[in-house]
Every structure is written in structure tokens, then in C-alpha cells.
């Protein structure tokens, strides 16, 4: 679905010279030639983010995401593609997702123990189920139906993502048992996903129809449009870095993609293929810069939501681990709040009815991106695509929801919180892995 693009002229001019202006062809660090200086649309430098992430954030996230609360994610991987018919399902063994059995997921996450705990607390506060039942009977059936409809309408206006967790076909997946890595899923089916995202669900300069928007063309777009494109490009970059960092090395050594003895590790050849100026028409280094942009956007969302998240119990039913998780989250949020140069969302969607229309288009574009994840033919790729788009969508909800400052109205569901932290963890890992590839290029 292609949306008409409004024009809101909040232009921030950033002139970026191409890589080849500074480096001769075949220079080993050409992929990193623009990974310095100020991050586009932000006020801090790439070196600052590298140090902040690799020293302070990445070690904390790596430990935190091992906790039970964050390792189990609920998603529907069976939903049909809503945009086109595609039978090209990945037949490779590495595309398969191992769903959790009934006994694998902590009872607190599934909700039964939490419900009993809340009922017990309600009784100690003097409430009773009979009293609540009696009060509920004063509400007519029509009013109850209207309340449900109003709630769904409010949620739809607030959400940037399709809701999966209440879907009957949604299943819990252990993310630690289904890591994101190269599965062999590629070709026309995989290309169609990104083609649809970029060509049909991104804002574009007037009369420009190529897949990727060159950095020189971004300056003709409004701030909100550039922010959207940089976020999508940064997400795409992060995913590509994960695949390069966990590449199926046994495949490159001539073994079959169905071989049970898969060996994964970093592939410098694949990294250069995806990001070298020579193979990307000079744009690969700019894509790497967009990774830093989306990192700052999601970091800002975490810092902004800190007062809300610090009240969360992260309940699984294991009191000792739940307490450790709460402390670890608060520690990470304190670090996030201390960062001096967050992304500034207050400059966006301000001042006019045109801005409101652009915000609506911004959200509808991104909603479509989350729906496109149902068209991914590889289940493992679909799982991580859903998680990372949901994490970005949750960040956008935090940054741009009108309800955010109304504590009684703003809510985050468990799957949104899990996606938010895991998606940021993926971005943090990508920046950390860039150092590994930089070292490999230097030797």
C-alpha cells in the first residue's frame, strides 16, 4: 500500500561527502570511512556512542537479556501474508523455530501465577470478587461492548505495531534457543520484503523511485521523513550485521545448508559485500551511520520511559530472579538517562494540521512494515523481524504517544517491553560487532 506523502518543511541540512572523496578504492577500512563525526539528525559523535555502548551498555544488556522475563517472546508465526500470495517457504533446517512447550514457560509469564497474586493482594486490601461482580452488573451489555470498542480504538491510535500477544495462534518462543543468524534465506522472496518496505512504505523524494535513497537526496526531504528512512535503514543495517557476525561458515566451506553440523561465525567477505562502497554504489558507509541513528532513537525511548519501566515488576514467579531483573533494569535505565545527547523527538510533528497528517502517515507506513513481517518465508527470520520491528514500534509509541504523560492511560504490554529491550539489545550488539569487523579489516 502506497501512501501519499505530505510536505512539512523542517529541513536540517547535512552535507556528507562520499567515501571516495577521501579514500582510494580497495582501502581496507573503506566500509568505516564515514564512521566518525556527528550522527545525522543528532548532536553527538559516533566515537562517543561507540565508547558508551561498548563499555557501559552492551555488557549490561548481554546479561539482562538472559533473564527469563526477556528470553520468552510471544508471536504468531502462522499468520498469512496480507499483501501477496507467496509459497516460497524456507525449507532449510536453520529456518525452523522451536516453539516452547507448556512446561517451558515460567507460570508468571503465562499469567496464571500473576493473576493469583493480584487476587490475593486485592483481598488483603479489603476488596472481594463478589463486590466487583455486583458493581459490574450495573454496566449494561451495550456499555460493556462500547467500552471494549473504545479501548481498541484508543489502542489503535496509540500503537505503531500489529498486536500479536492476544492472537490465539501466538506461541511463546525461547529467544536463546532460536538465535538470530544467517539461515540461507535469500533470493526473490527475501528481496521482495525489503523492496516492499523501501518502495511502498517509506517516504521518498519527489520523482525518485530507486530502492535506496542516497544520502544526497535525503536533504530534500523533511525532518520527519528523514527520521523515518534513517530508522528503517538503521534497522536493516543492524539485521545485516547480525547475519554477517553469525554467518553459516560451513556453507561457505562447501557443506550443505541442511547439514546438521552447522558452524557459525563472522564473515568478513559477507560484511564487505553488504557495506563496501564498491558494492553499494557508495552508500554502505551511510547505512552504517544510520545504525547509530536508530540506536540513539531507541536509547531515548528507554530513557524517556524509565519512570514507567522502573515501576514494572518483571514478574515470572521466581522471586529471586524477578528482584535481580528489576535491579538490572534500573541499573541500565540509570545509564541510559545519564547519556548527554539523546535523540530529540520534540522537534517532530509540531505546529499544524499538516504535521498531524504527516504523523498519521508516519504511523501507517510503519504499521505496514510490521504487517510485512508476516510475508517473510523463513520462520526464524520472521521471528526476529517481528521482534525488532515491534521493539522499534514500541520506541516510537513512547516517543510520540499523546497518552505518554497521562500515567493512568499509557500502558505497555509485556511483549512490548520484551521487544523494546531485545530490539535495543540487537542494535547494541551490532555496534559492538562493528569493532570486531574493523579489527578484522586491519589485520
Q: Which residues are annotated binding-site positions? A: 181, 183, 194, 233, 236, 274
Q: How many helices (H) and strands (E) does the chain have?
A: 18, 4
**Residue 306: how many CA atoms within 13 Å on its side-chain side?**
16
> Strand (E) positions, 87-137?
none
**Options 19, 42, 90, 381, the catalytic residue:** 381
384, 352 in Cβ contact below 8 A? no
State yes or no: is 81 an active-site residue: no
Q: Strand 72-75 to strand 171-174: parallel, antiparallel, or no bridges (unpaired)? A: antiparallel
Residue 343 CA from chain centroid, whole number: 16
Phi/psi of residue 38, nearest 5 degrees: -75, 140
- Compute the distance between CA of residue 171 and CA of residue 173 in angstroms, rounded to an integer: 6
Grid coordinates representing 408 are 493512568
CA distance 181 to 167: 26
Round to whole Å and give the CA distance between 323 and 332: 14
Contact assessment for residue 183 and residue 90, using Cβ atoms and an 8 Å cutoff: yes
Angstrom distance (rounded) from CA 201 to CA 221: 15
33 is a catalytic site residue: no
Q: At what angle do helices 188-200 and 223-245 cross, to 10 degrees?
A: 160
Q: Which residues are annotated as a binding site for FAD?
A: 181, 183, 194, 233, 236, 274
In three-state secondary structure terms, 265 is: strand
In terms of Cα–Cα distance, which of 69, 64, 103, 63 is closest to 318? Answer: 69
Show which residues are catalytic: 378, 381
Amino acid at each position: 500500500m502506497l501512501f501519499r506523502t505530505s510536505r512539512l518543511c523542517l529541513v536540517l541540512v547535512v552535507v556528507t561527502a562520499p567515501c571516495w572523496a577521501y579514500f582510494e578504492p580497495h582501502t581496507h577500512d573503506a566500509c568505516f570511512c564515514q564512521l566518525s563525526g556527528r550522527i545525522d539528525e543528532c548532536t553527538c559523535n559516533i566515537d562517543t556512542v561507540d565508547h558508551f555502548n561498548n563499555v557501559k551498555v552492551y555488557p549490561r544488556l548481554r546479561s539482562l537479556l538472559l533473564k527469563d522475563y526477556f528470553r520468552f517472546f510471544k508471536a504468531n508465526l502462522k499468520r498469512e501474508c496480507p499483501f501477496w500470495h507467496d509459497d516460497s517457504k524456507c525449507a532449510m533446517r536453520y529456518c525452523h523455530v522451536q516453539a516452547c512447550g507448556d512446561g517451558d514457560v515460567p507460570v508468571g509469564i503465562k499469567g496464571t501465577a500473576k493473576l493469583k497474586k493480584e487476587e490475593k493482594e486485592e483481598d488483603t486490601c479489603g476488596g472481594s470478587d463478589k463486590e466487583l461482580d455486583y458493581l459490574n452488573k450495573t454496566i449494561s451489555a451495550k456499555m460493556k461492548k462500547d467500552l471494549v470498542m473504545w479501548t481498541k480504538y484508543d489502542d489503535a491510535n496509540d500503537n505503531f505495531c500489529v498486536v500479536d500477544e492476544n492472537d490465539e495462534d501466538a506461541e511463546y518462543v525461547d529467544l536463546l534457543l532460536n538465535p538470530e543468524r544467517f539461515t540461507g534465506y535469500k533470493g526473490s522472496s527475501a528481496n521482495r520484503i525489503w523492496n516492499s518496505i523501501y518502495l511502498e512504505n517509506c517516504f521518498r523524494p519527489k520523482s525518485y523511485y530507486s530502492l535506496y535513497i542516497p544520502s544526497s537526496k535525503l536533504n530534500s526531504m523533511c525532518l520527519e521523513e528523514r527520521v523515518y528512512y534513517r530508522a528503517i535503514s538503521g534497522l536493516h543495517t543492524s539485521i545485516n550485521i547480525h547475519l554477517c557476525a553469525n554467518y553459516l561458515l560451513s556453507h561457505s566451506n562447501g557443506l550443505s545448508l541442511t547439514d546438521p553440523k552447522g558452524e557459525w561465525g563472522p564473515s568478513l567477505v559477507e560484511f564487505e559485500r553488504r557495506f563496501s562502497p564498491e558494492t553499494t554504489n557508495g552508500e554502505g558507509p551511510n547505512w552504517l551511520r544510520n545504525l547509530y541513528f536508530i540506536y540513539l532513537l531507541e536509547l531515548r525511548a528507554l530513557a524517556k520511559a524509565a519512570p514507567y519501566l522502573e515501576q514494572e515488576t518483571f514478574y515470572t514467579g521466581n522471586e529471586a530472579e524477578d528482584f535481580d531483573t528489576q535491579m538490572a533494569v534500573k541499573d541500565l535505565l540509570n545509564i541510559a538517562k545519564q547519556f548527554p545527547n539523546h535523540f530529540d523527538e520534540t522537534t517532530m510533528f509540531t505546529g499544524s494540521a499538516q504535521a498531524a497528517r504527516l504523523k498519521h502517515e508516519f504511523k501507517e507506513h510503519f504499521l505496514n512494515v510490521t504487517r510485512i513481517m508476516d510475508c517473510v518465508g523463513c520462520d526464524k527470520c520472521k521471528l526476529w523481524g517481528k521482534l525488532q520491528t515491534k521493539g522499534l514500534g514500541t520506541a516510537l509509541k513512547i516517543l510520540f504517544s499523546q497518552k505518554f504523560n497521562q500515567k493512568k492511560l499509557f500502558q505497555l504490554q509485556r511483549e512490548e517491553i520484551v521487544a523494546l529491550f531485545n530490539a535495543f539489545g540487537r542494535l547494541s550488539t551490532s555496534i559492538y560487532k562493528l569493532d570486531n569487523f574493523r579489527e578484522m579489516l586491519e589485520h
